[in-house]
Amino acid sequence: MVQFSKTRLDASFAALSDTTRRGVLEQLGRADASITDLAAKFDMTLTGMKKHVGVLEQAGLVTTKKVGRVRTCKLGPRRLEEETAWIERYRQLWAARFDELDEVIEELKRKETIDGRKTRE
Amino acid sequence: MDARQESERDRMKNRTEVERKSERELVVTRTFNGPARLVFEAWTKPELFMRWWVPKSAGISLRSCEMDIRTGGKYRLVFETKGPNPMEFFGRYIEVTPHSRLVWTNDEGHEGGAVTTVTFEDKGGQTLLVMRDLYPSKEALDDALASGSSNVDAMPETFDQLDEVLVTLDQGAGQQPSKT
Classify domain A6-75 by CATH architecture: Orthogonal Bundle (1.10)
The shortest CB-CB distance from A103 to any of B16, B55, B169 is to: B169
Mean pLDDT value of segment B131-137: 93
Q: Which helix (H) or strand (E) holds B111?
A: none
pLDDT at A68 over 70: yes
A51 pLDDT band, cuts 50/70/90, is very high
- The CATH number of B16-152 is 3.30.530.20
Distance from CA of A106 to the nearest CA of B (A): 8
Mean pLDDT value of segment B99-103: 97
pLDDT in tens, B160-180: 333 343 334 444 444 444 443
Distance from CA of B89 to the nearest CA of A (A): 16
> Which residues of chain B does A91 touch, with a Cβ-Cβ cutoff of 8 Å?
16-18, 28
Going from N- to C-terminal start, the domains of chain A cover 6-75, 78-121
> Which residues of chain A does B14 touch, with a Cβ-Cβ cutoff of 8 Å?
98, 102
pLDDT in tens, A17-28: 888 998 998 888
Mean pLDDT value of segment A85-89: 80
Distance from CA of B26 to the nearest CA of A (A): 9
pLDDT, residue A59, reads: 81
pLDDT, residue A67, reads: 86
Query: pTM value?
Result: 0.63
In the beta sheet, which residues pair with residue B76? B66, B90
Are the beta carbons of A87 and B20 separated by less than 8 Å? yes
Q: Is the ipTM of this complex over 0.85?
A: no
> Which residues of chain A does B145 touch, with a Cβ-Cβ cutoff of 8 Å?
78, 82-83, 86-87
Q: What percent of chain B has pLDDT over 70?
A: 68
